[in-house]
Amino acid sequence: MKKKIIVSFIACLLIVSVSVYIFDEYKTKNLVKTFLHTNKLSENKICILDELTVTMTNIDKSNPAFSTLKQALEGLEVKRTDAKFSYMEGYVFVIFQNSAFYQFSVNGNGTLLFDSKTYKLQGEESTKELFMILKKALKN
């Protein structure tokens, strides 16, 4: 009888721990806070690869769109998804933060790839706004 109770208790603990992990993994998160482990981007430069033209551009403080791009990235909310990431019109960000670099790929339909996991940008307007800011920044 004791053995059944102990086994049941361990099974319940296992189910609860797996549920907590899955719930945390698939909830909406802030891009910068979650993946870069900071509240604000401290870097003075963001590298962007335009996948359509295959050109790498450094967006730094001298670019008029830099602060807007920085704010847009800090405000992005993402949610984990099981969808496959497709390389179409999009951009690759390389952000240097705290002596490390982070690479994010974003495509036109608002899917983000980071660390071999796919995420969906929350809010269609935020995706459109981000792409408008990027196009403006890359023109300068």
Q: What is the pLDDT of residues 72-87, one digit of tens each?
A: 888 889 999 888 888 7
Largest CA distance in the chain: 74
The tens digit of pLDDT for each residue in 92-137 reads: 888 877 777 888 999 888 899 998 899 999 987 888 888 888 888 8
pTM over 0.85: no
Structure tokens belonging to residue 19: 């549920």
Gap between the Cα atoms of 18 and 34, Å rounded: 20
Burial of 131 (0-12, 13-18, 19+ CB in 10 A): middle
